[in-house]
Structure 1
C-alpha cells in the first residue's frame, strides 16, 4: 500500500500491518431505524486532540487549490451510555504537547495544545474505566493515545485489527493493548444493542475504515466521519486523497454514507473540519 506512505508522514509513531493476538469475532449488523434509543442519559463529549497545518491542500482534493495551505483540527469523542463508555479515536500523542513548536514535516505541521488525558481528567473520567475503544482507522492522528485505554474492549474492522501487531516489535501506539479484549468486525456493529451507537463499515481511506453513528435524544442523529472526508469542500467535490488505499472503494463508501445520512436525517460531523468544529460545543460541555 505505497499510497498510504504519504499520509503516514503525519504520524508521530509508525503503525504496522499484520496480525496479533485476538479474542472475540463479530459479524453483526444493526438497523438504527428499527432499534431507536431515546435514553436521555446518553451524552457525547468532543475533544480537540491536535492542530494540523496542511501545507498543500491539494493532497486531499487532487488538482484543486494546489499549493494552498489549510488548518485542520483533530477530534476525539467520548460517548457515555447507561451500558458503558466508548472512546472514538484518540488523536495525536499526548507527548506532542511537550513540543511547543510541534512536529514539522514536508507535508504537515502538527501541534497538541492540550492533552486528551487532561481533558478526560476535567470531566472526572479515568481512561482505565472506559469499556470500549474504537478508532476509525489506524493512522497516527487517530491512534496516538490508544495505550491509555488498557481496560477497554477494542472494536475494529478485521483489516485494521490485522494491522495492530507485527513481528517482535510492536508499534508504540498500541504496545499496551496486547491483553485487551478485541472484537473483530466484518461489517456494522451495534455497540450497546439499542441502535443508539452503531459503528458502520466505510472502507477506502484504509481497507478497514469505519464511521460512527450516534443518535442523541435531544441533539438528534450524528455521523462521525473518521477520514471519509477531511473538510467541507472535500465532501462537496467528492475528493479522494492521493494516499487513500482504494479510490473506488472510497467513492462507494461516500455513496453509502450519504444515503444513510439522508435515510436517518442525520448530520455529518467532519472530524478534521476546523470551521465546522468551531460551531460544536467541546468538553467539558457535552451534547445529549
Structure 2
C-alpha cells in the first residue's frame, strides 16, 4: 500500500483554540491534511478537506464560521486537484473515510460521486441533528448523495491490518482515527482533529473546540499508546509537521 499526503487547504484561526497560553487575539496558520491510501483492493481517501468555493466566497459557504476560520489557500489547493499529483482521478476513489463531518474535513465529498462514505454512525447522527451548523456541520458538504457506510466500532478496512479505523469520540461524537501499517515505513496514526497539533498530545491540552473534554483526553491516551508502540502520529493541523512530510507525488509505503 502507498500513502500520499495531500493538501485540503490552508486556514487562519485563533491560536488559543489549540495552544495553551496563547494570547486571546493571536492568530496562526494551519494546513488541512488529507490522505490517499492506494491499496491493491482499492483507493481510499481519508478526509476530503475544504470545498474549493470557500476561497472566493467563504461567507457564502460557511456563514458566520468564516469569521473564525479564514481560507488562505489558492483555488487549486484542494484535494481533487491534488489527486492528480499522485496519478489518480476523482472517479478512481472507491471510498472516502470521514474522520468526522466538520466542514474542513468533508468539504470535497461531493466530488467523489461513485465512492461510498465511511463515517461513524454517531457522527452522522450529530450532523443530522445540528440543523443550524453551529458546530461546523454543513449539509451541503456531508449530505451529497453518496451512500453512507456507518461505523459502529473499530474496522479493519481491507482485512489485512493495513488500515484500521478506530473510533475515538471527543472532538466530536463520532471522531475516528486511522491506524496505517506500511511494509517499509511502518505504522502511522492519522489523527485528524483527535489531535490537531503536537502540543495537544505532548501537554495533554484539549482544544477549546472539543465536543467532550474528558473523552478528548481519553483519546490522547489511546493515541499515545499507539505512539509508544512505534506509530508516527500525523496531526490534523500541525504546520511544522506538515512542512516536513513527503506530499503530493511523493509517498510512503
Please indicate, yes or no, whether the TM-score normalized by the shorter chain is above 0.5: yes
| Paired positions, count | 243
Relative to its length, the structure with more helix (as a share) is 2
- Number of the residue aligned with 1:88: 46
Match of 1:244 in 2: 210
Structure 1 residues 172 and 286, CA, compared in 2 at 3 Å: closer, same or farther? same
The alignment yields a C-alpha RMSD, in angstroms, of 2.6
Relative CO higher for 1 or 2, CA cutoff 8 Å, sep ≥ 6? 1
Matched, 1:266 2:225: no
Deviation at 1:68, TM superposition (A): 2.6
Greater alpha carbon shift after TM alignment, 274-283 vs 108-117: 108-117
Query: Distance in 2 between the 1:251 and 1:75 partners?
Result: 22
- Distance in 2 (CA, whole Å) between partners of 1:258 and 1:124 is 34
Distance 2:148 2:211 in 1: 24
Q: Does 1:257 align with 2:227?
A: no
Following superposition, the deviation at residue 168 of structure 1 comes to 11
Residue matched to 1:192: 158
Quick one: structure 1 residues 167 and 50, their matched pair in 2 at CA, closer, same or farther if it must change by over 3 Å? closer
Scaled by the length of structure 2, what TM-score is found?
A: 0.87
> Deviation string for 1:240-282 (max 9, x for gaps)?
122211111111111112112223x111011210111111011
Gaps of 5+ in 1: 1-41
Trace 1:177-256 onto structure 2 (pairs within 5 A): 177=145, 180-256=146-222
The answer to whether the 8 A contact 2:155-2:164 is kept is: yes
User: Which residue of structure 2 aligns with residue 140 of structure 1?
Assistant: 103
Contact persistence 1:50–1:75 (CA under 8 A)? yes
**Are 2:101 and 2:142, in contact at CA under 8 Å, matched by a contact in 1?**
no
**1:210-268 deviation digits (Å, cap 9, x = unpaired):** 111111111110101110122122222211122211111111111112112223x1110
Mapped to 1, the partners of 2:251 and 2:20 lie a distance apart of 36
Unaligned runs of 5+ in 2: 133-137
**Match among 173, 177, 190 for residue 141 of structure 2:** 173
- CA deviations on 1:104-157 (whole Å, 9 max, x unpaired) are 944332123212222123333222221111111111110110111111122111
How far apart in 1 are the matches of 2:143 and 2:71? 23
How far apart are 1:64 and its partner, in Å? 4.2
Q: CA offset at residue 45 of structure 1?
A: 0.9
Aligned to 2:244, the other structure's residue is in SS state coil
